[in-house]
Amino acid sequence: MPHPTPNEPIYQVLSTIPPGRVVTYGQLAQLAGLGRGARQVARALSNLPPNTRLPWHRVINAQGRISLPPPAANKQRHRLEAEGVHVQNNRINLKRFQWHPE
């Protein structure tokens, strides 16, 4: 049986974020049991393979902004908009689109 990677809890939570919703890096860290591990989340997401099916695009910074540089930021914005998330000036309204699991 393979050993889970240190990023496995991040990937498990990431896979549950519903379409049309976003979480922050810090929120994802907390949901994955990593406390204040926002940087660890960012590193884990940056190491995902290009063909991943995990919804990496649903993770944004604490100010509701897309943190990625172009062209990745454009790809993230297009994916979010395709799910109905309104992005204006690379910013998402967290009050409206942030996911809060029960």
What does the pLDDT read at residue 102?
79
> Where are the domains positioned within the chain?
8-97
Tens of pLDDT along 67-100?
999 999 999 999 999 999 999 988 999 999 999 9
CA-based R_g, the chain, Å: 13
Tens of pLDDT along 45-59?
999 998 999 999 999
Fold type of domain 8-97: Arc Repressor Mutant, subunit A (1.10.10)
pLDDT at residue 20 is higher than 90: yes
Tell me the two tokens of residue 61: 């910074």
Helix/strand/coil percentages in the chain, nearest 5? 40, 10, 50
Burial code (b: 16+ CB inside 10 Å, e: under 16) for 29-64 equals bbbbebeebbebbbebbeeeeeeeebbbbbbbbeeb
